């Protein structure tokens, strides 16, 4: 159970790190100072400038989860919708509708209900289809694919949506096509199929070079770095992040440059090169402090470092990290829950059970309805593991069952199998052979269901491969 909790924890942070890699430079606005964004709105004159300035403020407030930010996000969303509708410009209206969906690369920062988000995706698609805007139709289908992956863990439906994008993509050119490639890269990274992601990264880079787009070339560097990190080819990942930092510096985009320094530091930590890691950590902190950016800037810096420290041979740094770096980035209500749960996981993993017990108990005081289901599952699986180590078997079973229920509702069959095996082991420890057999049979049934699911996905993948690509 210890291994399962640790892997789940890493997946949460891996998604945060990769999806924070924004689809568009517009997303950099979440890292900036609010007063600068307001000043830019005041100076905006053309319809496109005003639209972009309103989107920037919407992104910022969607990315900061205090109540004042929630209210402001809704205010700017309404202003954006009214302004673009009054402009009667289909492209601006579609752009507004897209950002109102809370796109996948920033939706983890929003508590927009998933049903409402899906309705907004449908609304974008219907409008784009009515106006003949193929690009925004494709974006809507890409968002739908991410929706099925993230909220339903339904890879079949996700691939079906992706297949529709492939057909639409044939009529799309230039930077717009590159955005679709970037979406495909993120979907394949989400699934852990890095070689497929790498194929689309090459396509994005080649097209960016062909159209001579410096920004798109820079984003290609970013995705190459992300993919090679996933493939554990650290030298290549650092090479591409370094190229990206040079481009960002030349464009004076220093907020994301600070985050990329942290990513390089994380890679050096994983590669046991602590002196070089320390250099890039200091560069990240110096840039962040000089820019006086948002707390989200510190959060993105700390997330990459935490991810690396947990996996590395340098876990002695974790206690100081928790006392300062990650704590400095806490800004949203659910952060406290995640911070405490993460602390419990790491101490449980290190075998420091007294500390893990303290942290998981504190985390339990911060469970709210706004906590995403994957984070709740992470909590219950960890609480079960800790109780198991403490030999409080009834409490362990109770927590495992709650985690199992969440996995079952989200169709996470692999997670269900892991927790069922833990429940079987609890039954054996309590000398309850009938219950152990019951859980063993459930695990066998789940394995059969998982095999069938994987077979279906493989058939869909083959059908997709036969249908061509962008």
Looking at the chain, the whole-number percentage of residues with pLDDT higher than 70 is: 78
Q: What is the pLDDT of residue 265?
A: 86
Q: Which two tokens stand for residue 11?
A: 């997946």
Q: What is the pLDDT of residue 304?
A: 62
Q: What is the pLDDT of residue 432?
A: 94
Residue 449, pLDDT > 70, answer yes
Cβ proximity of 58 and 52 under 8 Å = no
Q: What is the pLDDT of residue 162?
A: 81
Q: Which two tokens stand for residue 419?
A: 């927790």
- Tell me the residue length of the chain: 470
Residue 66, helix vs strand vs coil: coil
Q: What is the pLDDT of residue 29?
A: 63
pLDDT band at 10 (very low <50, low <70, confident <90, very high): very low
Q: What is the pLDDT of residue 345?
A: 77
Helix ranges, 22-66 (H): 34-43, 47-62
Query: Looking at 84-142, which runs of residues are DSSP E strands?
Result: none
pLDDT band at 337 (very low <50, low <70, confident <90, very high): confident
pLDDT digits (tens, 9 = 90+) for 290-323: 877 666 677 777 766 665 665 566 655 555 555 5
Residue 154, helix vs strand vs coil: coil
Reference 347, options 358, 362, 361, 336; nearest CA is: 358
Q: Which strand (E) or helix (H) includes residue 371?
A: none
Q: What is the pLDDT of residue 469?
A: 44
Q: What is the pLDDT of residue 109?
A: 46
pLDDT band at 13 (very low <50, low <70, confident <90, very high): very low
pLDDT digits (tens, 9 = 90+) for 37-90: 899 999 999 999 999 999 989 888 877 666 677 788 889 999 999 999 999 999
* 274 Cβ neighbours under 8 A, 6+ residues apart: 268, 314
pLDDT, average across residues 383-394: 92
Torsion of CA 362, 365, 369, 372, to 10 degrees: 10
Look at 145 and 202; give whichever has higher pLDDT: 202
Residue 3, pLDDT > 50, answer no
Highest-confidence segment of 194-198, 271-275, 401-405: 401-405
pLDDT, average across residues 171-198: 84
Query: Looking at 38-143, which runs of residues are DSSP E strands?
Result: none
pLDDT band at 167 (very low <50, low <70, confident <90, very high): confident
Tell the residue number behind the tokens 């510096």, with chain if given. Answer: 249
Least confident of 103-107, 127-131, 254-258, 420-424: 103-107
Residue 397, pLDDT > 80, answer yes
Q: Which two tokens stand for residue 465?
A: 């491969």
Q: What is the pLDDT of residue 22?
A: 38
Look at 347 and 197; give whichever has higher pLDDT: 197
3-state helix, strand, coil in the chain (%, to 5): 80, 0, 20
Distance CA 138, CA 154 (A): 19
What are φ and ψ of residue 172, in 5° steps?
-110, 140
Look at 92 and 12; give whichever has higher pLDDT: 92
Q: What is the pLDDT of residue 88?
A: 95
pLDDT band at 185 (very low <50, low <70, confident <90, very high): confident
């Amino acid at each position: 159970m210890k291994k399962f909790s640790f892997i789940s924890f890493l997946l949460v942070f891996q998604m945060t790190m990769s999806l924070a890699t924004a689809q568009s430079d517009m997303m950099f606005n979440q890292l900036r100072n609010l007063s600068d964004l307001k000043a830019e709105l005041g100076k905006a004159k053309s319809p496109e400038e005003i639209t972009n300035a309103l989107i920037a403020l919407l992104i910022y407030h969607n990315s900061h989860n205090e109540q004042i930010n929630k209210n402001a996000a809704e205010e700017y969303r309404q202003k954006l919708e009214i302004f673009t509708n009054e402009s009667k410009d289909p492209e601006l209206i579609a752009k507004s509708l897209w950002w109102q969906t809370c796109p996948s690369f920033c939706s983890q920062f929003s508590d927009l209900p998933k049903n409402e988000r899906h309705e907004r995706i449908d609304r974008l698609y219907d409008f784009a289809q009515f106006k003949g805007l193929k690009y925004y139709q494709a974006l809507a289908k890409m968002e739908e694919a991410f929706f099925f992956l993230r909220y339903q863990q339904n890879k079949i439906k996700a691939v079906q949506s992706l297949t529709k994008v492939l057909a639409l993509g044939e009529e799309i050119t230039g930077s717009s096509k590159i955005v679709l490639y970037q979406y495909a890269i993120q979907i394949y990274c989400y699934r852990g199929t890095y070689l497929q992601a790498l194929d689309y990264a090459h396509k994005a880079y080649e097209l960016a070079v062909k159209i001579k787009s410096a920004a798109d070339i820079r984003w290609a560097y970013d995705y190459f770095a992300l993919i090679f990190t996933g493939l554990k080819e650290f030298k290549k990942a650092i090479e591409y992040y370094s190229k990206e930092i040079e481009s960002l510096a030349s464009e004076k985009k220093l907020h994301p440059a600070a985050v990329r320094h942290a990513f390089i530091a994380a890679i050096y930590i994983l590669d046991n090169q602590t002196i070089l890691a320390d250099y890039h950590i200091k560069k990240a902190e110096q840039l962040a402090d000089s820019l006086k950016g948002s707390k989200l800037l510190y959060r993105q810096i700390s997330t990459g470092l935490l991810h690396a420290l947990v996996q590395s041979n340098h876990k002695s740094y974790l206690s100081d990290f928790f006392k300062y770096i990650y704590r400095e980035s806490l800004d949203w209500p659910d952060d406290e829950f995640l911070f405490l749960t993460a602390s419990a996981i790491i101490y449980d993993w290190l075998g420091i059970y007294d500390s893990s017990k303290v942290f998981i108990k504190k985390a339990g005081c911060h469970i709210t309805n706004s906590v995403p289901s994957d984070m709740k599952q992470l909590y219950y699986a960890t609480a079960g593991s800790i109780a198991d180590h403490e030999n409080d078997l009834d409490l362990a079973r109770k927590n495992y069952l709650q985690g199992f229920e969440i996995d079952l509702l989200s169709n996470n069959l692999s997670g269900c199998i892991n927790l069922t095996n833990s429940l079987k082991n609890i039954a054996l420890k309590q000398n309850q052979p009938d219950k152990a057999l019951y859980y063993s049979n459930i695990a066998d049934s789940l394995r059969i269901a998982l095999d069938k699911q994987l077979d279906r996905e493989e058939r869909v993948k083959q059908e997709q491969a036969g249908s061509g690509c962008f």
